[in-house]
Amino acid sequence: MRWCWFGLAEDVSEDAFASAAARDLQGEPAGYLAAWDPDAGHPKGTARISGAVIDPSGPEMAVSLVLPPSGVQVLFDDPAVVAATQAVYERPGVSFVTTLTTDPVHFGGAVTGTTAPWPGWWSDDPFERIFPARRLLVEPGLFNAVAPPAGPVHQRYAGLPWPAEGFE
């Protein structure tokens, strides 16, 4: 699957094909991160995510979730987004990274994850230069470790989240 719908929900979604509970760094519940089939219905407020990073049998991950504030839109080709997409390659120990898209032209956020976080890992997300990040510990059953594509690049295909490829 090249892409799917992704979002943060307060409760478990029975319609999602993959979901996992998330908690903040103090151990407090932070809701559920979930993925929905691209051809199925999805809750309001979800965004497209690369399907390669979703795995219903994936390991526990520490993630940096960057989402735009309500009502704020930034073009995907904005120099800040391009710079963050290129800078993410400089981060050691990243298990996966993907951008989120809300439509063909707008940056909908980013998710960066690792299976082996260290204290400084949380302060090094280049996408946090664009919007605030939430640091979450995500239970098994949602994310997959995926090597990043050759880069640095920022090109996308047909409005898909980077690094998803192909045309519909």
Residue 140 sits at φ, ψ, to 5 deg, of: -60, 155
Residue indicated by tokens 């032209």: 105
Tens-of-pLDDT digits for all 168 residues of the chain?
A: 789 999 998 888 788 999 999 999 999 999 999 999 999 877 888 999 999 999 999 999 999 999 999 999 999 889 999 899 888 877 778 899 999 999 989 999 999 999 988 777 777 899 999 999 999 999 999 999 997 766 555 555 556 666 666 545
Entry pTM? 0.88
87-110 burial: b if 16+ Cβ within 10 Å, else e: ebeebeebbbbbbbbbeeebbbbb
Q: Which helix (H) or strand (E) holds 3?
A: strand 3-9
Query: Residue 162: what pLDDT?
Result: 64
What is the DSSP secondary-structure string of 42-109?
--TT-EEEEGGGB-TTPPPEEEEEE-PPTT--EETTSHHHHHHHHHGGG-TT--EEEEEESSSSEEEE
